[in-house]
């Protein structure tokens, strides 16, 4: 009698292991990025192959734990963590069921510089407006920290360069209206829509980016 029971139990166990592994695969993050780092927080973004909740856990050297959760189901995860008081944190991203590899977060020193805003604006286009639901623009200026901003419901975006830092000394820089930003890379990531190509045309401070960033499935 026992032998007849063993086989079904083993079969069910194998199925459960395969299901667990498949769920882990679907939730596994890719394109993990840290942007908009400040002296007290940052934005973590990543993709998952299947719509799952977003979860971020950061632990400081003093033993403090900070958790940010969003139960909305999405494949484009964009989580902001703030009110951090330390300088270095070990962070893990996941979906509430799984947590993945540790990511080091080093916050920037507090800046006392008072700078004038230096904006760059632009527009995103796609086949239908559903791509705007979870679309974010990433801006990488050569020699500076990565920045990101959400796209609004009309496909427009705007970023203030006065908040970024030089990677060489972690200081802010005053950009002036009319300054040309030559070494710049701009792209969009939008969940099920995927990522756009990288746009590298020079930009002008306090002006509209000269190209509409197009994204398609």
**pLDDT tens digit sequence for 150-165:** 999 999 999 998 888 9
Do the domains 114-217 and 27-110 match in fold? yes
Distance CA 113, CA 139 (A): 22
Structure token digits, residue 50: 């299947």
pLDDT band for 1, please (50, 70, 90 cuts): very low
Distance CA 60, CA 33 (A): 19
**pLDDT tens digit sequence for 81-112:** 999 998 999 999 988 778 887 899 999 998 77
pLDDT band for 24, please (50, 70, 90 cuts): low
* CA nearest to 214, candidates 146, 120, 122: 122
pLDDT band for 4, please (50, 70, 90 cuts): low
pLDDT band for 136, please (50, 70, 90 cuts): very high
* Topology annotation, domain 27-110: Immunoglobulin-like (2.60.40)
| Domain layout of the chain by residue ranges | 27-110, 114-217
Is the predicted pLDDT of residue 20 greater than 60, yes or no?
A: no
Architecture of the domain spanning 114-217: Sandwich (2.60)
pTM for this entry: 0.84
* CA nearest to 49, candidates 19, 27, 77: 27
């Amino acid at each position: 009698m026992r032998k007849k029971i063993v086989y079904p139990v083993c079969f069910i166990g194998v199925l459960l292991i395969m299901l667990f592994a498949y769920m882990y695969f679907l939730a596994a993050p890719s394109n993990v990025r840290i942007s908009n780092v400040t002296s007290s927080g940052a934005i973590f973004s990543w993709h998952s192959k299947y719509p799952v909740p977003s979860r971020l856990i950061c632990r400081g050297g003093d033993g403090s734990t900070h958790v940010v959760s969003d139960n909305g189901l999405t494949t484009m995860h964009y989580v902001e963590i703030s009110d951090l008081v330390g300088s270095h944190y070990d962070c893990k991203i996941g979906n509430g069921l799984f947590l993945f590899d540790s990511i080091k977060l080093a916050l920037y020193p507090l800046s006392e510089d008072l700078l004038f805003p230096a904006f760059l604006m632009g527009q995103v286009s796609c086949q239908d407006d559903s791509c705007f639901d979870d679309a974010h623009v990433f801006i990488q200026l050569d020699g500076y920290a990565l920045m990101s901003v959400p796209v609004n419901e009309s496909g427009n975006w705007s970023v203030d360069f006065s908040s970024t830092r030089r990677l060489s000394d972690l200081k802010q820089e005053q950009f002036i209206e009319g300054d040309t930003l030559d070494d710049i890379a701009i792209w969009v990531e939008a969940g099920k829509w995927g990522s756009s190509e990288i746009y590298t045309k020079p930009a002008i401070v306090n002006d509209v980016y000269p190209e509409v960033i197009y994204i398609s499935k």
